[in-house]
């Protein structure tokens, strides 16, 4: 039985690709604008459903801050059929989007605090939205530390941004890679991202941490942060799930009673750490 | 209270087709009893709850989201006639109430409500179950109810639309028929509801060990029959179908019992074992939904227990769970 229906909730909005640049051999950055000129209207931490006709939809985090220009950016790793097709697109091509969806970083609770912004792998894409937001509103936040870990130097995302943040007095930047071959002209830290936390000094009562990265990263990073005295109500985590609809209906992103696409993807740790399979 | 005698059943529903897209229990040529359109088979109101989920009237197995022709997305029109659907038992009506709330919550699902809005839902009850067994009357949470007293259908309208549909039927129900309805309406205690609540409490208290789910998972053959038969299962996948000139985006029922249900593009799979998937199916109904909605989302319609070839429908699992851990 097939039902034919008109629906607004699931209809994509047309967007134009303004630029495409290669971040790594597996990741590209797309600068995108709605063709009707309307701003995306997102907040750091939110995601959109990217729609390619014939390929379906995939959830992609917004990698740029709403404080910047009349476009938005998407860092896309080639991981499946849709993202593979997206990597073939060029300037002027049209994509569809729905959203923005989900719960963003809790900026109201972050304001006035020192921030530890910790990301791994392509988790830097959504974190970049928050970093840019803090960069553009310096009076609203305290000291900001950026911790980033990549698989290796080749797969380090946003190298230009990282260099700029590293050079900026606004940020304290700590970077590491899991592995370095020695042939990649890399002279920085080698080790897991958890190795960047013990040397840090911060006041847990005035600090909020945010974590975005691959699932394997969370528990070990959280353990290190708790060792430093940071409590679960001061640690925000952005969780990756397979959001198919983005509107809390399809069921693919549930974490016990929570729908990651609507109740998250950003949660306070004390909301999810007791839930099976959350971390 | 109106009366519909057996010899007037066919003509009554035939007349309704002038204003309604009529769906009701029928028997297909292969003997399967389903809720379907008049004309797909002979009317079969007797025989109890149909084996397929009645909520499929509003959440069909396959729904079109949109069609794109030569790259342009075309808006689609709504179905011509509103739906009249008969065949919801009292438990099915509770399931419908639950998913009505689910699809309305937050961002309202307009695909669901395109079909659900303006629809008329008719409950079925009385001595028309398997071999004449009693189907408990509803609590009135439908537009009208068809109650079989053993000789005739008594029809009780509960809404304006329900009243309109039966306005031309005679309303001279004999006293014994009214008495039969009142007697049947007295709710009987259900031991299975007690078991389900106990199982729910055990799950919410985290008193069920992982080893239990491993045992249950070992018995699952991933046929997905439980999900496909369940009136409160609402999970769906979204896919594009390509032909030479058109692309149709549609959604289709999905099952949390399949390995790929939650697998992410990165390869990470939060439900990567049958034990986790089986736990998710039961836990979702008995623990997660009570946490989110305040209600257990299994209303004991019995379909998954009948569908499961290995005996791990929700009631069977709940009974095992209570027997071992209560």
Shortest alpha-carbon distance between residue A139 and chain B (Å): 35
Domain limits of chain B? Answer: 2-59+71-185, 191-325
A13-101 matches A107-238 in fold: no
pLDDT digits (tens, 9 = 90+) for B218-252: 999 999 999 999 999 999 999 999 998 899 999 99
For residue A276, the chain B residues in CB contact (below 8 A) are 279
Architecture in CATH for domain A107-238: 3-Layer(aba) Sandwich (3.40)
Crossing angle of helices B210-218 and B274-283, in 10° steps, is 110
What is the C-alpha to C-alpha distance for residues B255 and B271, in angstroms, rounded to an integer? 12
- Using DSSP's 3-state secondary structure scheme, residue B111 falls into helix
Within 13 Å and on the Cβ side, how many CA atoms surround B236?
26
Which of B28, B66, B81 would best serve as a mutation to test chain A binding (most A beta carbons within 10 A)?
B66
Choose from B264, B278, B281, B290 for mutation: most chain A CBs within 10 A.
Answer: B264
For B272, which residue in chain A has the nearest alpha carbon?
A277
Residue of chain B with shortest Cα separation from A253: B262
- Residue B25 belongs to what H/E stretch? strand B21-27
Contact A247/B289, CB-based, under 8 Å? no
Hey, where are the domains in chain A?
13-101, 107-238
CB B302 within 8 A of CB B278: no
B246-253/B62-69 β-pairing:
antiparallel
Over residues B184-210, mean pLDDT: 90
Alpha helices in B67-124 (DSSP H): 90-104, 110-116
**Measured between CB atoms, does A255 come within 8 Å of chain B?**
yes
CB contact under 8 A, B73 and A249: no
Residue from A251, A261, A278 whose CB has the most chain B CBs within 10 Å, to mutate: A251
- Comparing alpha-carbon positions, the chain B residue that sits nearest to A80 is B265
> Which chain A positions have a beta carbon within 8 Å of B289's beta carbon?
257
Chain A residue with CA closest to B83: the answer is A3
CA pseudo-torsion sign A79, A84, A86, A89 = positive
Percent of chain B past pLDDT 90, that is, above it, reads: 86
CB B87 within 8 A of CB B138: no
Using CB atoms and an 8 Å cut-off, which of residues 27-86 of chain B contact chain A? 56, 60-66, 68, 71, 73, 75-79
Instruction: Give the pair of three-digit tokens for residue B212.
Output: 């239990």
Q: What is the secondary structure of A257-278 as a DSSP string?
A: TEEHHHH-BEEEHHHHTTSTT-
Cis peptide before A100 (omega within 30 of 0): yes
DSSP string, A168-199: -TTEEEEEEES---SSS---SEES-GGGGSTT
Contact call for residues B137 and B182 (beta carbons, < 8 A): no
Convert the pLDDT of each residue in B261-307 to its tens digit. Answer: 999 888 889 999 999 999 999 999 999 999 999 999 999 999 999 99
> Strands B62-69, A2-4: parallel, antiparallel or unpaired by DSSP?
parallel
Q: How much of chain B is in helix, strand and coil states, percent to nearest 5?
A: 35, 20, 40
Place of tokens 């370095």: A180
Q: Which residues of B touch A214 (CB under 8 A)?
A: 266, 268
A244/B237 touch (CB, cutoff 8 Å), yes or no = yes
Chain A residues lying within 8 Å of B291, measured CB to CB: 256-257
| Among B residues 87-126, those touching chain A with beta carbons less than 8 Å apart | 102-103, 105-111, 114-115
pLDDT of residue A83: 95
Q: How much is the mean pLDDT over chain B?
A: 93
Residues of B in contact with A244 (CB under 8 A): 236-238
- Nearest CA-CA distance, residue B244 and chain A, Å: 11
Q: What is the ipTM of this complex?
A: 0.91
Best to test chain A binding among B265, B276, B292 (most A CBs inside 10 Å): B265
Is A151 in the B-facing interface, judged by CB distances under 8 Å? no
Candidate from B240, B249, B262 with C-beta closest to A242: B262
Asked if B245 has any chain A CB less than 8 Å from its own CB, the reply is no
Which residue's entry shows tokens 């701003």? A39
Please judge whether A255 and B251 are an interchain contact, meaning their C-beta atoms are less than 8 angstroms apart. Answer: no
DSSP 8-state symbol, B29:
T
How many angstroms separate the CA atoms of B119 and B109, rounded? 16
Q: Nearest to residue A101, comparing CAs of B237, B106, B213, B110? A: B106
Low-confidence ranges of chain A (pLDDT < 50): 1-6
Classify A153 as helix, strand or coil.
Answer: helix
Q: Does A139 touch chain B (CB under 8 A)?
A: no
Contact B253, B225 (CB under 8 A): no
Q: What is the distance between the alpha carbons of residues B202 and B197, in angstroms, rounded to a whole number?
A: 9
Contacts of A258 in chain B (CB under 8 A): 292
Six-digit token string for B174: 């004999």
Distance from CA of A111 to the nearest CA of B (A): 28
Q: Which of residues 258-277 of A touch B (CB under 8 A)?
A: 258, 262, 276-277
Residue B160 in tokens: 């304006």
The phi, psi pair for A140, rounded to 5°, reads -85, -15
Q: Which residues of B touch A252 (CB under 8 A)?
A: 235, 237, 254, 261-262
Closest chain A residue to B74, measured at CA: A6
Of B109, B265, B289, the CB nearest to A9: B109
* A86/A95 Cα distance (integer angstroms): 9
Residue A158 · residue A128 · CB < 8 Å: yes
The residues, any chain, with a CB within 8 Å of residue B18's CB and separated by 6 or more, are: none
- Distance, CA of B204 to CA of B298 (rounded, Å): 15
Contact across the interface for A254 and B284, Cβ inside 8 Å: yes
CA angle at B228 for the pair B227 and B231, rounded to the nearest 5°: 80
B136's tokens:
């408990």
**Residue B37 pairs with which residues in a beta bridge?**
B23
What residues in B contact A9, CB-CB < 8 Å?
A: 107-111
- Is the minimum CB–CB distance between A93 and chain B shorter than 8 Å? no
CA proximity to A237, closest of A71, A62, A120: A120
Interface-testing mutation among B98, B102, B109, with chain A (most A C-beta atoms within 10 A)? B109
Q: What distance in Å separates the CA atoms of residue A259 and residue A279, rounded to the nearest whole number?
A: 14
In this predicted structure, the answer to whether residue B189 has a pLDDT above a threshold of 90 is: no
**CATH fit for domain A13-101, picks 3.30.500.10, 1.10.150.120, 1.10.10.10, 2.40.30.10:** 2.40.30.10
A247 to chain B: closest CA residue: B107
Q: Tell me, rounded to whole angstroms, the distance of Cα A213 from its chain centroid.
A: 8
Q: Phi/psi at A108 (nearest 5 deg)?
A: -65, -35
Q: pTM of the prediction?
A: 0.93
pLDDT tens by residue, B121-174: 999 999 999 999 999 999 999 999 999 999 999 999 999 999 999 999 998 777
Closest Cα in chain A, distance from residue B180 (Å):
37
What burial class does residue B276 get, using C-beta atoms within 10 Å of its C-beta: 0-12 exposed, 13-18 middle, 19+ buried? buried
- Token output for A223: 């353990």
Query: Number of helices (H) and strands (E), helices first, in chain B?
Result: 12, 12
């Amino acid at each position: 039985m097939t039902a034919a229906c008109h629906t607004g909730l699931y209809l994509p909005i047309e967007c134009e690709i303004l630029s495409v640049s290669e971040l790594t051999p597996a990741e590209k950055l797309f600068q995108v604008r709605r063709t009707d000129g309307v701003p995306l209207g997102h907040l750091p931490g939110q995601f959109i459903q990217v729609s390619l006709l014939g390929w379906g939809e995939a959830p992609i985090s917004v990698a740029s801050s709403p404080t910047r220009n009349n476009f938005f950016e998407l860092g896309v790793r080639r991981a499946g059929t849709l993202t593979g097709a997206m990597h073939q697109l060029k300037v002027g091509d049209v994509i569809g989007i729905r959203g923005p969806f989900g719960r963003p970083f809790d900026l109201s609770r972050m304001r006035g605090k020192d921030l530890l912004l910790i990301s791994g792998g392509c988790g830097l894409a959504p974190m970049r939205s928050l970093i840019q937001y803090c960069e553009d509103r310096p009076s609203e936040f305290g000291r900001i530390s950026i911790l980033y870990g990549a698989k290796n130097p080749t797969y380090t995302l946003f190298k230009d941004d990282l260099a700029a943040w590293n050079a900026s007095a606004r940020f304290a930047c700590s970077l590491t890679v899991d592995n370095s071959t020695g042939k990649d002209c890399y002279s920085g830290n080698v080790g897991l991202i958890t190795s960047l936390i013990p040397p840090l000094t911060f006041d847990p009562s005035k600090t909020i941490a945010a974590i975005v990265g691959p699932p394997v990263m969370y528990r070990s990073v959280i353990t290190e942060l708790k060792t430093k005295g940071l409590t679960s109500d001061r640690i925000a985590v952005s969780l990756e799930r397979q959001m198919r609809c983005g509107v809390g209906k399809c069921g693919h992103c549930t974490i016990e009673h929570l729908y990651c696409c609507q109740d998250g993807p950003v949660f306070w740790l004390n909301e999810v750490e007791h839930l099976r399979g959350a971390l | 209270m109106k009366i519909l005698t057996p010899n007037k059943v066919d003509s009554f529903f035939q007349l309704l087709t002038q204003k309604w897209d009529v769906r009701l229990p029928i028997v297909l040529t292969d003997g399967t009893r389903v809720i379907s359109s008049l004309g797909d088979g002979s009317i079969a109101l007797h025989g109890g709850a149909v084996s397929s989920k009645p909520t499929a009237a509003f959440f069909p197995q396959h729904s079109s989201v949109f069609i794109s022709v030569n790259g342009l997305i075309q808006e689609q029109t709504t179905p011509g006639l509103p739906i009249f659907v008969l065949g919801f038992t009292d438990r099915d009506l509770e399931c419908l109430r639950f998913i009505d709330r689910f699809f309305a919550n937050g961002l309202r699902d307009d695909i669901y409500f395109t079909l659900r809005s303006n629809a008329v839902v008719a409950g079925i009850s009385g001595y028309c179950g398997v071999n004449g067994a009693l189907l408990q009357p509803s609590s009135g949470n439908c537009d009208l109810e068809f109650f079989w007293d053993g000789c005739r259908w008594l029809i009780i309208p509960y809404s304006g639309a329900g009243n309109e549909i039966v306005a031309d039927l005679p309303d001279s129900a004999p006293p014994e028929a009214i008495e039969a309805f009142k007697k049947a309406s007295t709710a009987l205690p259900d031991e299975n509801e007690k078991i389900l609540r106990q199982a729910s409490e055990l799950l919410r208290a985290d008193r069920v060990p992982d080893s239990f789910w491993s045992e249950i998972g070992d018995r699952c053959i991933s046929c997905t029959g439980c999900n496909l038969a369940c009136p409160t299962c609402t999970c769906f996948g979204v896919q594009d179908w390509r032909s030479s000139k058109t692309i149709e985006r549609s959604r289709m029922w999905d099952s949390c019992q399949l390995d790929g249900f939650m697998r992410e593009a990165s390869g990470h799979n939060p439900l990567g074992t049958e034990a986790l998937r089986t736990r998710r199916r039961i836990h979702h109904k008995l623990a997660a939904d009570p946490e989110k909605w305040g209600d257990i989302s299994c209303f004991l319609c019995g379909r998954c227990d009948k569908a499961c070839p290995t005996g791990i429908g929700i009631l069977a699992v709940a009974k095992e769970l209570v027997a071992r851990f209560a």
